[in-house]
Amino acid sequence: MLSLQRQVIRVLCRPNIVSQASVKSVLRNFIFGSTNSLNMALSDDEARKVCIPPPPETEGFFFQQTMLRIKDPKKSLDFYSRVMGMSLLLKLDFPPMDFSLYFMGYENAADIPSDPKERARFCFSRKATLELTHNYGTEKEDKAVYHNGNSDPRGFGHIGIVVPDVYKSCERFEQLGVPFIKKPDGGKMKGLAFIQDPDGYWIEILNPQNMAK
């Protein structure tokens, strides 16, 4: 029996070989947590027991950033701003260590402070930002520099972006020449897409209403 994670990956990446009933079953279990007929490492009860209520000492913690290493900042910044609609929140350069950091996020550009210190405070107080790390010289490489985690040895999978309309967004992505892993109507599973950024990282394109069906 496949683990739940591998079943979901199989549905996403090879939908044509999975029946409609299997798609619904796997996604229902993935979203709502049922373990019927699934070979899982932890049962629902075991998972709930392991996940204790947040300790008081963690009050105020929040998820602030995900870091991706990028080959060419010109291509990545163009993609995440022009294609994905993010704003550049902060740029930090570290010449002695040969790298720069670019923090992207869904914030109104007019709200970003111009003062460097205030801008840094603003950036690091935002939730769910994307930190793009450029190690100087990688842009000169002819081949792909980084592994996206979706082929062996697997690791990192993808980031997810919520959009108002998956189909309209994907029509625009297609017009812009964005590569697709899965289009919204690809295979049996509808209303969900995966695209790739300039470094080949996967981006899930989703809408909460579609995910709850």
Q: How confident is the model at residue 1 (pLDDT cuts 50, 70, 90)?
A: very low
- Separation CA 17–CA 23 (nearest Å): 10
Element (H, E) at 208: helix 208-211
Q: Where are the domains of the chain?
A: 4-58, 65-140, 158-211
CATH 3.40.50.620 fits 158-211, yes or no: no
Residues in the chain: 213
65-140 and 158-211 have identical folds: yes
Which residues are known catalytic residues?
204
1 is in an annotated binding site: no
7 is in an annotated binding site: no
Domain range 65-140, CATH class: alpha beta
- Residues 6+ away with beta carbon under 8 Å from 175: none
131 is in an annotated binding site: yes
- Separation CA 65–CA 129 (nearest Å): 5
14 is in an annotated binding site: no
pLDDT at site 163: 98
Task: Reply yes or no on whether the pLDDT at 125 is more than 60.
Answer: yes
**pLDDT, the chain, mean:** 88
Which pair of structure tokens corresponds to residue 163? 């959009």
- Contact of 135 with 99, CB cutoff 8 Å: yes
36 is in an annotated binding site: no
Average pLDDT score over residue span 135-150: 96
Q: What is the pLDDT of residues 33-70, one digit of tens each?
A: 554 545 678 898 999 999 999 999 999 999 999 999 99
Q: Return phi, psi of residue 49, to 5°.
A: -70, -35
pTM listed for this prediction: 0.80
